[in-house]
Amino acid sequence: STISVGHCFYFRGGAELLFDGVKKHQVTLPCQPEPWDIRNLLKWIKQNLLKERPELFMQGESVRPGILVLINDADWELMGELDYKLQDQDNVLFISTLHGG
């Protein structure tokens, strides 16, 4: 589709520290021929939003264990995880459940 879609991405529970402390990012993703899925979104976030220590956010092509992903307040495991196709105005929330001591 040639429509750019608007989204809000939220980082909580310490995850925001990897994004300059910014908890809410309003983003319009670039147009691409295929619909955006979470797999592509994570790559884009890593390249464009993530400021430091990507290993604390990503592991391989997914988020690392201990980061909870909610899509419009539903667990992404119910939505197809990496294969979920983003819809316009979707909210994606990343919550770190890992706490260093």
| Mean pLDDT for the stretch of residues 43-58 | 93
**What rounded mean pLDDT belongs to the chain?**
90
Q: What is the DSSP string of the chain?
A: -----EEEEEEETTGGGGGTT--EEEEEPPP-SSPPBHHHHHHHHHHHT--S-GGGTEETTEEPTTEEEEETTEEGGGTTGGGPBP-TT-EEEEEE-----
pLDDT at 1: 43
Domain 4-20+31-94 has CATH 3.20.10.10: no
